[in-house]
Structure 1
């Protein structure tokens, strides 16, 4: 037995009557999510963001037990 395939099982989807809701390659996003992504991109271009280092520094100051 191949160790890479020891826990894999392949069963046909039609045996369970599974119908995919959307195409796996299709990217359909909710309109509100699209608006939020566009807003985030705009704010990033304008420099309105906080770096990871700043967030971690603020967390450590606010919650010293996390150090």
Structure 2
């Protein structure tokens, strides 16, 4: 039996291109995909953005903690 001795590791590297943040007004006004969304979806997205802007958000840690309190069988995850 032959053992594999390769020291190569599988790596995923993120592209080095620069990321830009597009202002919400440009995304909403200049994106054809936005116009194709149903009105109720647009309203839900806008509500989510407003809530995030007001700081009405939960961290991942808070969400997981609340879920594990509500569903104890998740405590092993």
**TM-score category, normalised to shorter length:** 0.5 to 0.7
What SS is found at the alignment partner of 1:55? helix
2:58 is matched with which residue: 47, 50, 55? Answer: 50
Q: Any gaps of 5 or more consecutive residues in structure 1?
A: 1-25
Q: Normalized against structure 1, the TM-score is what?
A: 0.54
Name the CA distance, whole Å, in 1 between partners of 2:40 and 2:72.
37
Question: Rg larger in 1 or in 2?
Answer: 1
Equivalence for 1:35 = 43
Larger RCO, structure (CA 8 Å, separation 6 or more): 1
- Aligned pairs, how many? 42
Superposition RMSD in Å: 1.3
